[in-house]
Structure 1
């Protein structure tokens, strides 16, 4: 399970998703040229997106194959909006 949270520059948690991303082989099969942000996710590592990168991530979520989506997609969108509205905020995908 990959958890999602928005953290400030000092590492403090500003917002957290209730749902996590269930890792499937479908994520590893994403084309890195078409989904460079989502391709960065791994089941055991962390991926961090800054304010400029979350707009790219949002565009990828719009194109995400339906079988890879679930509740986490809507929550990821909400967290992206938190990052876009704030200063020195980052969206973290935290692997187990």
Structure 2
């Protein structure tokens, strides 16, 4: 996970990444449309308007899908909210 600007230069990075479990496949896309966009192999990008929706989904994320990555993602979301032309990237393998 990283926050990148328009030039794709990293502004901030997380120490780790999403801890994938089979429970991610069971998330309801109607209840978790932002997190449902994540895949272990592809990239997903969230802009400043999408970050509040993502933060709200973190609040109701089942514990089995949680971990240190959630706190790191929250911090990166705050960086995006405070800046301009910044994007939260979840970088797949």
Aligned counterpart for 1:41 among listed residues 31, 38, 41: 38
Shift, 1:42, TM fit: 0.3
Distance in 1, Cα, partners of 2:35 & 2:14: 17
Q: How does 1:1-96 map to 2 (within 5 A)?
A: 4-96=1-93
Deviating beyond 3 angstroms after TM superposition, the runs of 4 or more aligned structure 1 residues are: none
The count of residues paired between Structure 1 and Structure 2 equals 93
Instruction: Structure 2 unaligned segments of length 5 or more: list them.
Output: none
What's the TM-score, normalizing by structure 2?
0.98
CA displacement, residues 44-66 of structure 1 (integer Å, 9 cap, x when unaligned): 00000000000000000000001
What's the TM-score, normalizing by structure 1?
0.95
CA displacement, residues 10-44 of structure 1 (integer Å, 9 cap, x when unaligned): 10000000021121121121000000000000010
